Structure 1
Amino acid sequence: MNYLRAGWIILIVIGISACGRRKGQPRQQEIVRDPRQLNEVVAAQVAERLEYVGGNEGLMEDSVPAFRLSALQHAYRQHQGAAFWSDNGRTHKAVYSLMDWIANADNYGLPPARYHLAALQGARGQLEHSRKDAALWAKMDVLLTDAFMKMASDLHFGIAPKDSITLRKDSLFSDTVLTAFLQQALQAGDVGALLQQQEPVHDGYMALKEGIRLYRDQYGGKQWDTLPQMYADTPQFRRQLAIRLMAGGHYDTTGIPETDTMPLKNAVKAFQREFNIYPDGIAGKRTIQTLNKQPGDWLLQAAVNLDRWRKFPDSLPDRYLLVNIPAFRMNVMENDTMMLESRVIVGAPRTRTPVLNSVMTNFVLYPYWRVPYSIVFKEMLPQIKKNVYYLAEKNLEVVDHKGNVVNPDTIQWERLSKKYFPYVLRQMDGLDNSLGVMKFNFMNKYSVYLHDTNNRSLFSNSNRALSHGCVRVQQWDSLAMYMVRNDPRPGIRDSVRTWLYTEQQKQYTMHKRLPIYIRYFTAELRNGKMQFYEDVYGEDQVMMRYFR
């Protein structure tokens, strides 16, 4: 009866806490004489702590924000206000499982401090010497409950907020679902199985998680001195550079004369290749910046990318095309098998390629290029006003609002501006067209598409953030052949090849549309090794604030 009476008292206190009354820190100690009294007193202490969270702007005793106060209140209300993780001074066996997950949260790209690691370790240490302290049991209970709910949600949805391209229909677990998870985990006595069930099952996610483990095994305990920001070909700088490369396992000086600089240059090239920098063997500005990043910086970058995978739905289509902007790469996947891979050129930082979801519907051979007005006003109109023959040099024609081609010599160009421009500039088809031979269309609000290019030498660049926003595809012909391969019409592949050979302007509408995802992943496991890509748009820096 005392237990039930205490439960009703706690329900009342929980209701009060919802009003958000601010109060001082909860009691840090309350010793009971008889351990059999612990459950009742711990329950009262739990209610006091929930009241504190409600009146402290959602911050818990360790100043770490609670996941969601309403979820905590709902869980304890369903449990009649009683503690979840202990029973009259006896620790529930699931505590050890959850503490292990928290201590190793960084293996999943999650920061352990987010789950009250320091406060929980401190409370457990104190309980070894003060097992009759109801305040300590209550503190640990609320922290564990919050940590469990937070981790279950973070593993499934990620830490960063839902963005404009997140494909999940759901964006959070309800209070009821989280409470059910907690009850299920405690009944099993092991939180691990339930937490693992919340993780994505995508190959890219699983591979990246394995890559984090491998990287931590290789570099986790290492730390190195930073190099001067300016490259200087001096004996002192070369010694510093050699020490840094040895620390990372890229350079071995065994048997190498100090006067022989070629092995050091080769070590720099090896490092540059690993981090997708042009391998010239010179420790320039970007190479030095990359060398100066500590293992923890790279692991944080990988963690951010695990979070991006958590924004995907639970399953992907059987066939899809994925463009990874920082990797400058396109992949076509079918039934978890890579059918096609190609280098791509993406938007420059000032004219970014947008992240998006869409469906590819058709491709056009020998397309016209309608020049976006942003390019017309920023780049072309000033040149045309200087010399109208600029249009002929760029293979451009002028089209009025009725679709008629206009003689540029009849236009008073000096009177035109961003405020008044009743024309469209169109680049004519052919090998000189900026779109190249083929354009792949998919619906999107940004007017971007995939296409060939008339400047194919740029595909050899290591940094290929060069376009106005569209994605230029090196293997455009292989992509076209993939798109027509399942067409039921006989001879369609031969027809496409004929159109290409005879330079006919044709449109092919796909028999089966191809989902397309343009994404921003700066880390992945590739060929058994971690690969990191330059944060070309600065998106990692935006994401990292949620992990600190």
Structure 2
Amino acid sequence: MHAMLDTPGKVSIPLQARYDILLTDAILNLMNNLHYGKLNPEFPASRIDALTGTKFQADAALLAGMGQKDLLSVIAAAQPADKLYRAMQWRMHMLEGQLQGDCYEIPEAEVRKLAINMERLRWSNTGDSVYIQVNIPSYTLIYRAPDSLYRFKVVVGKPETPTPTLVSAITYMTTAPEWKVPAKIFARELLPKAKKDTAFLENNHLAIYDLKGNFVQPTAANLALVSKTPAIYFARQSAGCDNALGLLVFRFANAYDIYLHDTPEQALFKRKERAFSHGCIRVEQAEKLGSLLLSYDGAKARTGLLHRDITTYTKQNFVLKKPVTIKITYLTCMIKDGELQDFGDPYQLDHSLEMAMYGTDLPLSTSLKK
């Protein structure tokens, strides 16, 4: 580049063109990495290249910014505008700039932790001003409304049945829902309990059906038969105060068949660490969250109907005119009052992402010291 600028004519036109193409490609790749993340499992380079429509497109953003004086600002604008991301970015700038200038040793472990969590925030970079964020390591749900922020406690999946990260949209809620027991839970947990105690099913409002919908009487002989070929049977739990889904479930499309729901096991929300589910997310104060979504949807008058249907165990769908984005994230840290909050790593995912980004383990000295 210096040869082309300082000594015009020294570099051949074909080489200048090749350099131009490679530099442009590198800038576009950088912008895509800043926006979608370098290691985003949902947006590999092939998918990004094929994007059209409303999704961020680096070529269009770069072209639109070519007339501006500060090209670096155009490139940096590809990053998430999310407050969580900006707070982490500020903290990293402080660590890499202020501490270094004051003769502190940079705490490499904290820098890397910030870097991998900023990468994860790029994966959920939707740009929405209104959304629900479930963060697995902190066991929290945040509902960000136009002018308010509400926090709820959640229960997430156990390490052996983890809650997946994803981005979707809540489209409707159902009061007093029935629960179709997932096949693995049916075969591995429910049937063994029912065989030991034939009253187990009735006591938990559960019933077994064949694939044609025919009810199967829970006799010892029938349960033994079902256990031989559980794949051609299923169980369903009727609505009620002790239904596994509780009295309200929030539905959103996803490939994992998980959902956000109420629970009769309210005592679990008093625990500090709340990884107890089979992958679905249980939320405290589910009715309050449902009422907030109805109010945002312009249907505040229906909150009374929601309460009535919950208290009378009446099944009813409440469809949202404006679906609300839901992000399930795995952020092992956040910034509060300028300081790092470490939530732990319940699924032990930090190390693999760190290795993918850095390729090396941490140096021996990672502490902050003067």
Q: Could you report, residue by residue, the CA deviation over 1:282-317 in whole angstroms, capped at 9, with x for unpaired residues?
A: xxxxxxxxxxxx93222201101112223345x523
Q: 1:209 to 1:514 in 2, by over 3 A?
A: same
Match of 2:131 among 320, 325, 336: 320
- Matched with 1:202 is 82
- Matched with 2:218 is 408
Contact 2:135 2:141 in 1 (8 A): yes
Q: Could you report, residue by residue, the CA deviation over 1:321-380 in whole angstroms, capped at 9, with x for unpaired residues?
A: 111112211111233x44421111111111111112222122222222211111111212
Match of 1:304 among 103, 112, 116: 116
C-alpha distance in 1, partners of 2:133/2:202?
A: 37
C-alpha distance in 2, partners of 1:450/1:79?
A: 51
Q: Which runs of 5+ in 2 are unaligned?
A: 52-57, 360-370
Matched, 1:76 2:76: no
Deviation of the 1:145 alpha carbon: 9.8
Match of 1:155 among 24, 31, 34: 34
Q: 1:432 to 1:154 in 2, by over 3 A?
A: closer
Q: Could you report, residue by residue, the CA deviation over 1:58-103 in whole angstroms, capped at 9, with x for unpaired residues?
A: xxxxxxxxxxxxxxx998325699xxxxxxxxxxxxxxxxxxxxxx
Match of 1:331 among 133, 138, 142: 142
SS of 1:302's partner is helix
- Matched with 1:231 is none
- Matched with 2:174 is 364
Q: 1:450 to 1:540 in 2, by over 3 A?
A: same
* Mapping of residues 421-500 of structure 1, within 5 Å: 421-486=231-296, 491-500=301-310
Q: 1:410 to 1:381 in 2, by over 3 A?
A: closer
* Mapping of residues 186-197 of structure 1, within 5 Å: 192-197=72-77
Q: Which runs of 5+ in 1 are unaligned?
A: 1-5, 8-35, 45-72, 82-141, 224-293
C-alpha distance in 2, partners of 1:511/1:38?
A: 61
Q: In structure 1, what residue type is equivalent to 2:289?
A: L
C-alpha distance in 2, partners of 1:507/1:412?
A: 35
SS of 1:416's partner is helix
SS of 1:412's partner is helix
| Aligned residue pair count | 345
User: Whose Rg is larger?
Assistant: 1
Q: 1:414 to 1:547 in 2, by over 3 A?
A: same
Contact 2:226 2:233 in 1 (8 A): no
C-alpha distance in 2, partners of 1:472/1:167?
A: 34
Q: In structure 1, what residue type is equivalent to 2:141?
A: M
Q: In structure 2, what residue type is equivalent to 1:309?
A: L
SS of 1:310's partner is helix
CA RMSD of aligned residues (A): 4.0
Match of 2:190 among 380, 384, 393: 380
Contact 1:439 1:450 in 2 (8 A): yes
- Matched with 2:48 is 170
Q: In structure 2, what residue type is equivalent to 1:381?
A: L
Q: 1:214 to 1:463 in 2, by over 3 A?
A: farther
Deviation of the 1:204 alpha carbon: 2.1
Higher strand share: 2
Q: 1:153 to 1:74 in 2, by over 3 A?
A: farther
Percent of residue pairs identical:
28
Q: 1:148 to 1:395 in 2, by over 3 A?
A: closer
Q: Could you report, residue by residue, the CA deviation over 1:429-478 in whole angstroms, capped at 9, with x for unpaired residues?
A: 22222211211111222111111111111112222121100000012111
C-alpha distance in 2, partners of 1:214/1:80?
A: 34
C-alpha distance in 1, partners of 2:325/2:90?
A: 27
Q: In structure 1, what residue type is equivalent to 2:308?
A: T
Bigger relative contact order, structure 1 or 2, given CA contacts below 8 A and separation 6+? 2
SS of 2:123's partner is coil
SS of 2:209's partner is strand
Matched, 1:531 2:352: no
Q: In structure 2, what residue type is equivalent to 1:327?
A: S
Deviation of the 1:212 alpha carbon: 2.7
TM-score by length of 1: 0.54
Q: In structure 2, what residue type is equivalent to 1:331?
A: I
Q: 1:295 to 1:504 in 2, by over 3 A?
A: same
Q: In structure 2, what residue type is equivalent to 1:77?
A: A
C-alpha distance in 2, partners of 1:199/1:303?
A: 13
Q: In structure 1, what residue type is equivalent to 2:116?
A: V
Contact 1:331 1:338 in 2 (8 A): no
Q: In structure 2, what residue type is equivalent to 1:497?
A: H
Q: In structure 2, what residue type is equivalent to 1:319?
A: V
C-alpha distance in 2, partners of 1:38/1:521?
A: 50
Q: 1:327 to 1:222 in 2, by over 3 A?
A: farther
Q: 1:406 to 1:152 in 2, by over 3 A?
A: closer
C-alpha distance in 1, partners of 2:95/2:215?
A: 59
C-alpha distance in 2, partners of 1:490/1:158?
A: 38
Q: In structure 1, what residue type is equivalent to 2:128?
A: P
* Mapping of residues 386-401 of structure 1, within 5 Å: 386-401=196-211
